[in-house]
Each structure stands twice: as C-alpha cells, then as structure tokens.
Amino acid sequence: MTLDLEALYIDLHRHPELSFQETRTAGVVTRELEALEIEFEEGIGKTGVVGVIRNGEGPVVWLRADMDALPVQEQTGLAYASTARGVDPAGTDVPVMHACGHDMHVTCLLGALEKLVATKDEWSGTIVAVFQPAEEYGAGSQAMIADGVLDRFPKPDIVLGQHVTPLPAGTIGVRSGTQMAASDGLTVTLLGRGGHGSRPHSTIDPVVMAAATVMRLQTIVSREVDPRDVAVVTVGSIHAGLKNNIIPAEARLELSLRYPDDEARERVLAKVERVVRAEAQASGADEEPVIVIDHSLPPTINDVHATAQLTLAFDRAFGEGTVVDPGMFTGSEDVSWFARESGAPLVFWFWGGIDPQAYADAKAAGTIDRDVPTNHSPFFAPVLQPTLDLGVGALVVAAREFLG
C-alpha cells in the first residue's frame, strides 16, 4: 500500500469538521491505520483516535496531530476549497474550513506512520500516534487525558508534534524554551438595564458599557505592560441586542489573552478584571459583571536538550539552513498537556506552507502581513509541495531520533 497523500489531504480539506465533531475525519484515520495494520482505538476524548506500533524494546515516542477545523468561510479560490457547514456549540449554522492546517497535520502523520511501518527493521521501541480532537477549543488533549489516554497506552518518553505555519515551504522553525504562549479564553457578561430605545435615560445601556470596556481593554498592553514583554488582549466577539429600538439588558464579550508565563498571566488577568468591573461601575450598573474563564492553556515549552538534539537531526536530514528560530509565537496550543501530565519532555516545531517565491516577494516588498495569509485566515491554505514531503519527513526524522 502506498498512500496518495495529496488526494488524502484534498479529501480532508474538502470535509472539515468542528471541534468534537470530527467523526468523518476520525473515520478516515481509522481506515488508513487499519490498512497499515496498525492497532488503534477510537472514541477517546469523544472523537480522538490513538494508533500504536509496537516494535520491540526501546523508548516510547508519542506523535500528535490535531484534527478539528474552524467556523470560517473559505476564500482561497482553490478547486478543492471547502463549502462545508456545521453547527457550533450555540446551535448556529456556520461555514467550516481547515483554516489552521490541521488537515495537513493529519495527512503528514499518516504518511509518517506508513514510512515508519515500512522501516521497522531499522528502529525499535513503541510509537503512539495521537489524533487529537478539539485543539481549537483548547480542550481536546485534556478530554483524551480524562478518558485515560495516559493509562490505556504506553506512556511517552517524549512527546513530539508539529504545526504548519506561514513560513516558506521547505523551512522548519523550532526553538528551545517557550515556543508558544499561554492563553485564556474569557467570556465577560456586562449586566445593564434594558428598555425602550427612545428612553435611554431610564436604562443602563450595556452596549455603551461594552464599547467603553473594549476600548479601555486596549490600554492594558499599550500602557500597562512593559514594551519588552509579550502580552495580547484581544476581544474576538461582542454580542448585544436584537432590535434597533430596544436597549438590551446585557452584552457579552469574548476575550483571548496571551502571555509567556504564569506570572504574566496573573498580572494581565487582574488588569482585565479591574477594567471590566471599573467600566461597569462607571456606567452605573446595578449588578457586577460576570467573568468566566472558558479555557486555559499553558505555554508550550520545548525541552532544551531534546530540541538541540532534534535540530541537529533536522540539519543532517534536510541540510543546513532548513531550521530557523521563528521566535516565540503568541498563538497557543494544548499539546503540552500530554507532556506535562506524563512528565515527558516536549518538542513542538513549525514547518512552512507558503510558496517560497511568494513569500520572498512579499518580504522584499515589506508586505508579508498583507500578502501572506496566516493561520485562521479565510485565505490560508498551504501549498501541497514541498509542504507534504517535509511534514512527513520531519515526523519520521524526529521519531527515529528518539527511538532505539
């Protein structure tokens, strides 16, 4: 059997599924694992799949790929662009797209497993392939852990993973220490007093309260965080009201916060809470706002020694200059829960998916931010090659480096 990776990727790209709804994707994974004669279990953490290759004595290496897509309307113009729709947790019909490249992650892990199975006489140990749901909710890895993934399968001696990103295709980006930021997702409910739009004086308008809160929150990073430090406060959604002549009783904000460590997290969270409560008080609200932390993700911290070892292995396999230090990403990941809960070291790297010439042209013009789509953009779609080949190759090299 030889996997047609391009066809597999296109199929997954055309059929994206939202977090904890990855049933078709999981079915594709189990079909390919069965064809490779790899033992597996499905339904772990609701829709997760774990495959195991046992090949004698030696280390246990975990390889992880996430599977879920996003509520984004694809605008890439590709012949295989997604037209899929789904229902989000609120019951809303939404467009669905693999705007973060998880279809590429799944494809490359399956391709790597095929190569590792074919070369079992060259290595020894155990490979645990983790196809994880719901990374976009920051909940999939913990759901699998709660479902006993660390007890039901061989525990890792090292956890490895990768993420496609807007670097030039053919490039690997990895650094030791903090590779990705910690994050929290917050829902803030501002409680006002509703009434008729013609009588604002008889209400406490939560729309105005929300507007003031959003603007004041922007001063936390710009005026209260040392410019040499990293922090992000983003208000990603705001919802209030149903009709133009009704002042609603409440407004809801959804926030995404990012920071490099726990100390910064405590500082930024305290500042956000202070601003929210102060703006409610300034608006004369009768009730305190409700602040709920929907999810928390730790920083993604790469083990120093394992990262140095793997960087050398990548250089040997792909040539000097392939590996670059991408700096710390302010995006966040939940892969590190597997390493943290098991006590194993982690190495998580990025690999490029942007046409190298297009990237070079944008860099020369100073228009990377405008012309190179990032993850979560409706225009983000990696070029098929050499992205697929390097994604497969990197996982194989990494697994072989830490196996016997």
DSSP string, 185-223: EEEEEEE-B-EETT-GGGSB-HHHHHHHHHHHHHHHHHH
HSE-up of 86 (CA within 13 Å, CB side)?
23
**Alpha-carbon distance 50 to 132, whole Å?**
8
Q: In the structure encoding, which two tokens stand for residue 111, read together?
A: 């391709």
Contact 141, 204 (CB under 8 A): no
Instruction: Please state the pTM of the whole predicted model.
Output: 0.90
The residue count for the chain: 404
Instruction: Round the CA-based radius of gyration of the chain to a whole number and report it.
Output: 23
Helix (H) or strand (E) holding 273: helix 262-282
Per the DSSP assignment, residues forming a β-bridge with 265 are none
CATH 3.30.70.360 residue ranges of the chain are 182-296
Kindly give, in sequence order, each residue whose CB lies less than 8 Å from that of residue 240, ignoring residues fewer than 6 positions away.
Answer: 206, 207, 210, 248, 250, 251, 252
Does CATH place domain 5-179+300-402 in 3.40.630.10? yes
DSSP classification of residue 154: P
Tokens of 115: 């190569």
pLDDT in tens, the chain (404 residues): 689 999 999 999 999 999 999 999 999 999 999 999 999 999 999 999 999 999 999 999 999 999 999 999 999 999 999 999 999 998 999 999 999 999 999 999 999 999 999 999 999 999 999 999 999 998 999 999 999 999 999 999 999 999 999 999 999 999 999 999 999 999 999 999 999 999 999 999 999 999 999 999 999 999 999 999 999 999 999 999 999 999 999 999 999 999 998 899 999 999 999 999 999 999 999 999 999 999 899 999 999 999 999 999 999 999 988 999 999 999 999 999 999 999 999 999 999 999 999 999 999 999 999 999 999 999 999 999 999 999 999 999 999 999 98
Q: Residues of CATH 3.40.630.10 domain(s) within the chain?
A: 5-179+300-402
Report the chain's terminal Cα–Cα distance, integer Å. Answer: 26
d(CA 23, CA 43): 9
Cα(77)–Cα(179) distance, integer angstroms: 32
Residue (of 61, 113, 53) closest to 345 by Cα position = 61
Domain 182-296 has CATH 3.30.470.20: no
Asked if residue 396 lies in contact with residue 116, where contact means CB atoms within 8 angstroms, the answer is yes
Asked whether the beta carbons of 366 and 216 are under 8 A apart, the reply is no
Residues 6+ apart with CB under 8 A from 334: 132, 135, 138, 139, 140, 141, 142, 297
